[in-house]
Amino acid sequence: MNALRSKKTLALVAAAVVAIPSAALAGDGHHDNTQAARQAIKGGQARNVILLIGDGMGDSEITIARNYQVGANGRLAMDKLPLTGAYTTYAVQKDDPSKPEYVTDSAASGSGWATGRKTYNGAISVTPDGKPQPTILELAKKAGYRTGDVTTAELQDATPAVLGSHVINRDCKGPDAMATCAVNDKVNGGAGSIAEQLVQTKPDLLLGGGKQYFDQTVKAGQYKGKTVTQQAQANGYHVVTDAAGLAAAKGDKPILGAFAKNNMDLEWVGPKPTRTGTTPAKCEVNTARTATQPHLVDMATKAIDVLDKQTKHSRQGFFLQIEGASIDKQDHAANPCGQIGETVAFDAAIKKVLEYQKRNPDTLVVVTADHGHTSQIVEEATLGYTATLITHDNANMTISYATAEITGSQQHTGTEVRIAAGGPQAANVLGVTNQTDLFFTMKRALGVR
């Protein structure tokens, strides 16, 4: 082979090597999806409804996690739901509920999807004038469905709280924290703190953090002098505090799993953003994570197993909410790897749910967020704080947090967010809907009034 010929061969080989990744980065939208979309549209009633809330998981947070974990043309489990739409998330102003509050918090948005009514930021399933509104979990339970509420945050945090409690301020998490909720305080004849109300509503599973509030002492009524945990036990709850206890729980009694004093520990750690950016780096597993805490996928799997077993021989199935809570919390903290690790852990729970749905197609699965958040994929250092990560594509991705100082808390945003679904009634997420519409979709799927 002469020199010229061999040079040409090398050039061809090089061209081929370059061509492979660019082909892999192209989409496969050349398939006609009409038939698949037609088949995905199913009316009628569902036996089960599984709702998955990624707190603060806007399109930007999803894209960041996808790029990092599976690459720009990869697909997360949550990307595989057959029907996708968008919904608006705004709250209403407390002083004038006829006006929108364009940026919601998890309390108002949660009250929206849980009760079908808009309310003010900080409200837990009460109207702007403080009246309790029945929630989808309460309605499902009343109609004979089994129920579960699972989170990586404190169980008294807004998202899990909106399903089983009604207070005028989200901070009223335990009997010692009622300063802003006098009207709800047991001492004043109210239904009590979020912790007390959750165990009174009595879902079959309450799994998450927030043990410190269950350990507070009830101030009035039948359980005065007992802790909320003891109140739960007196009401039939089996209480577990670690992964081994959860795994061993039979599910013949309702399970209260409180696995951390506050929020549960983070999955990943990584570089902190700066004004001028960071050297490209990869995220790492959080070795400081408490080993005895279950992961979200463990809690989700246990919840599905227990609820499925409990409903094997009954006419009604179950309603289950599963929250990836610290996507939001780490977005507030401008912690890209923290945020991505929680999104990936949430996606692992979604994968389990979709496997269950495959075996039980009469299950409505909805994956959505409660509101958008700060993080953005940008070209270079911004006026805010940036960090650069090396993704699955072996490419650099720069993430910006620019709605607060690094010492402060980054802000929620008022954008619409993705809502994706599969199963009976899933077509109701198509187009642009309102967050409150989700309540009616789930209600119709369960056939409850």
| Contact residues for Mg ion, defined by CB under 5 A | 55, 106, 159, 325
With respect to Mg ion, which residue has the nearer C-beta, 199 or 325? 325
Calculated CA dihedral for residues 116, 122, 124, 127, nearest 10 degrees? -50
Is 437 among the residues that bind Zn ion (CB under 5 A)? no
- The first and second tokens of residue 29, run together, are 């939208």
Calculated CA dihedral for residues 154, 158, 159, 162, nearest 10 degrees? 120
With respect to Mg ion, which residue has the nearer C-beta, 197 or 278? 197
Of the candidate spans 82-90, 246-254, 296-304, 323-331, the one that interacts with Zn ion by CB under 5 A turns out to be 323-331
Between β-strands 205-209 and 146-154, what pairing exists: parallel, antiparallel or unpaired? parallel
With respect to Mg ion, which residue has the nearer C-beta, 201 or 398? 201
Q: Residue 231 binds which one of Zn ion, Mg ion, none, with CB within 5 to 8 A depending on kind?
A: none
Classified as helix, coil or strand, 399 is strand
Q: Residue 159 binds which one of Mg ion, Zn ion, none, with CB within 5 to 8 A depending on kind?
A: Mg ion
Report in angstroms the alpha-carbon separations of 94 from 161, 179, 309: 20, 19, 43
Smallest gap from residue 325 Cβ to Mg ion (A): 4
Give the integer Cα–Cα distance in Å for 87 and 434: 5
With respect to Mg ion, which residue has the nearer C-beta, 92 or 161? 161
Give the integer Cα–Cα distance in Å for 414 and 411: 10
Give the integer Cα–Cα distance in Å for 345 and 413: 23
Interface with Zn ion (CB under 5 A), residue from 61, 185, 196, 328: 328
193 a catalytic residue: no
Residue 114's H or E segment, with its range, is helix 106-115
Give the integer Cα–Cα distance in Å for 84 and 92: 26
Smallest gap from residue 404 Cβ to Zn ion (A): 12
With respect to Mg ion, which residue has the nearer C-beta, 261 or 358? 261
Smallest gap from residue 69 Cβ to Mg ion (A): 22
Smallest gap from residue 273 Cβ to Zn ion (A): 18
Neighbours of 280 (CB within 10 A): 15
Query: How many chain residues bind Zn ion (CB under 5 A)?
Result: 1
Smallest gap from residue 157 Cβ to Mg ion (A): 5
Position with the least CB separation from Zn ion: 328
With respect to Zn ion, which residue has the nearer C-beta, 113 or 223? 113
DSSP secondary structure letters along 198-234: HHHH--SEEEEE-HHHHTSBP-SSTTTTSBHHHHHHH
Of the candidate spans 219-227, 239-247, 293-301, 325-333, the one that interacts with Zn ion by CB under 5 A turns out to be 325-333
Kindly give the interhelix angle for 336-359 and 59-69, rounded to the nearest 10 degrees.
90
> Residues 6, 22, 98, 106: which is the catalytic one?
106
Smallest gap from residue 271 Cβ to Mg ion (A): 25
Q: Residue 325 binds which one of Zn ion, Mg ion, none, with CB within 5 to 8 A depending on kind?
A: Mg ion
Of the candidate spans 147-155, 304-312, 327-335, 360-368, the one that interacts with Zn ion by CB under 5 A turns out to be 327-335
What are the two backbone dihedrals, phi and then psi, of residue 444, each rounded to the nearest 5 degrees? -65, -40
Give the integer Cα–Cα distance in Å for 347 and 276: 31
Q: Name the residues that contact Zn ion, by CB under 5 A.
A: 328
Q: Active-site residues: which are they?
A: 106
